Amino acid sequence: MPHTSSVESGRFEGVDLTALAAREGTPLYVYSAPQIRQRVGSLRAALAGMDAGIRYAVKANGNAAILRLLAGEGAGADIVSGGELQRALRAGIAASRIVFSGVGKTDAEIVMALEAGIERFNVESHAELDSIQRLAAQRGVLAAASVRINPDVDARTHAKISTGKAENKFGVVIDDARAWFAESATRPNVRLDGLHMHIGSQLLDLAPVRAALARMAAFWRELEAAGHSIASIDVGGGLGVRYRAGETAPDAHDYAVAIAEALQGFRGRILVEPGRWLVAEAGILLSRVVLEKQGRERRFLVLDAAMNDLARPSLYDAWHDIVPLHTDAAREALDYDVVGPVCETGDTFATQRRMPRCAANELVAILGAGAYGASMSSTYNSRPLAAEVLVEDGRYAVIRCRQSPDAMIADERPATEWNTP
């Protein structure tokens, strides 16, 4: 995460944030290119010695410039939709370095991926496996596939981002996967030779990861003993990051050690799918104070950013450090409910947050906003999408222009042309 002190000073990667906000407006997403490169490099170094590939989870932040940056660092992509496939390909990520996850792949998306020649499908249901066989046979191609195992491990994360328990919609139980391998000959156009898991997101403890890896490793050894060749093991992603000062998160080295220990003796390709871990701490959401409001019981700090710009606090009660950019150390500290202007009580970034007093038109930076910020944003309350910039060495580049009201409603039409299906 950008050091709080560096952001408080009003600069981020050498860029004056006050001048940046005056020129590009707020709300404004600001991403550090050096910090993203550093994260990729540290993970790549940690995995050295293993036949391992990084497949960035595009859902975390799918901006084309971010994808191009990651592609330049050697990362592939983990996608969950046809739209993400198009984003990845257009950003220069080779199809041979793209894996397709997700529980609800449509026939159209499967066809798109087959025609692109992606690396492999992470298969989550018997119905999906049959669809891939049918569509691959129609085109006379062979699709590589991994079965996503649901290891029934509690990731100890927020319920809405837990994906590896039996009650979750993701993956299949090992008994089902065992049957799929046994009947592989009935699907000649699907080469089922991989295993995949992903137990959840924002994991701050590696113990659940180790438990899930142990279960998957035991199944891999069982399959090989039964004569099934396993060419790929995808260990998923989900590594957590520091959203608040003093919080600790796993580092790349410890994660790599856990993988190496669990998969000792595996001679195939190991894939990892980090998303949040690569980009979250490299981003801030720059916002301007609209006003301060004293209610009967609470003092509110109203920003020009809102839940449509950054949904994580309203969705998950997620914490983000919020740093005022003024430098007046003598100001009194107050307890604020930091909120946006959207007409929802849930439009709240923080409750009873102790902060130096802020005044209208001053800037604050919401930290840890590089992942699941812009990618989850919407135009709720008819609020145009925020701009995004990339910063490095005292300069910046606009990587998404601020949406205009005209662009926001450009595809809407009056009901003057009526058709029948």
Residue 160 is predicted with a pLDDT of 44
Q: Which residues pair with 284 in a beta bridge?
A: 30, 367
Residue 169 is predicted with a pLDDT of 54
The one catalytic residue in 329, 330, 333, 343 is 343
> Tokens 């590896």 correspond to what residue?
164
Q: Quick one: fold of 102-272? A: TIM Barrel (3.20.20)
pLDDT at 4 over 80: no
Domain ranges of the chain: 4-30+280-408, 102-272
Report the pLDDT averaged over residues 166-194. Answer: 87
401 is catalytic: no
Report the pLDDT averaged over residues 66-79. Answer: 98
Q: Which of 153-162, 194-203, 381-390 has the lowest mean pLDDT?
A: 153-162
pLDDT at 163 over 60: no
For 300-346, the pLDDT digits (tens) are: 999 999 999 999 999 999 999 999 998 777 889 999 999 999 999 99
Which overall architecture, per CATH, does domain 4-30+280-408 show?
Beta Barrel (2.40)
Report the pLDDT averaged over residues 108-135. Answer: 97
Question: Could you give phi then psi for residue 335, rounded to 5 degrees?
Answer: -95, 115
In sequence order, what DSSP letters do the residues of 194-216 get, joined into one string?
Answer: EEE---BSSB--SHHHHHHHHHH
pLDDT at 392 over 90: yes
pLDDT at 113 over 80: yes
Report the pLDDT averaged over residues 226-255. Answer: 91
163: which 2 tokens?
A: 């994906």
Q: Percentage of the chain surpassing pLDDT 90? A: 83
229: which 2 tokens?
A: 């060749």
Report the pLDDT averaged over residues 32-42. Answer: 97
Q: Collect all residues with Cβ–Cβ distance below 8 Å to 8 and sequence separation of at least 6.
A: 323, 324, 325, 327
Q: Percentage of the chain surpassing pLDDT 70? A: 94
Instruction: Please tell me the pTM assigned to this model.
Output: 0.93
pLDDT at 212 over 90: no
User: How many whole angstroms separate alpha carbon 305 and alpha carbon 338?
Assistant: 10
Residues, the chain, total?
421
Element (H, E) at 20: helix 17-24
Mean confidence (pLDDT) of the chain: 92
User: How many whole angstroms separate alpha carbon 280 and alpha carbon 31?
Assistant: 9
pLDDT at 36 over 70: yes
Nearest by Cα to 66 from 45, 35, 112, 96: 35
Residue 165 is predicted with a pLDDT of 45
Angle 47-50-54 from CA coordinates, rounded to 5° = 50
Residue 326 is predicted with a pLDDT of 83
Residue 170 is predicted with a pLDDT of 63
pLDDT band at 373 (very low <50, low <70, confident <90, very high): very high
367, 4 Cβ separation under 8 angstroms:
yes
Nearest by Cα to 72 from 51, 84, 54, 60: 54
Report the pLDDT averaged over residues 266-291. Answer: 97
Distance of CA 155 to the CA centre of its chain: 17
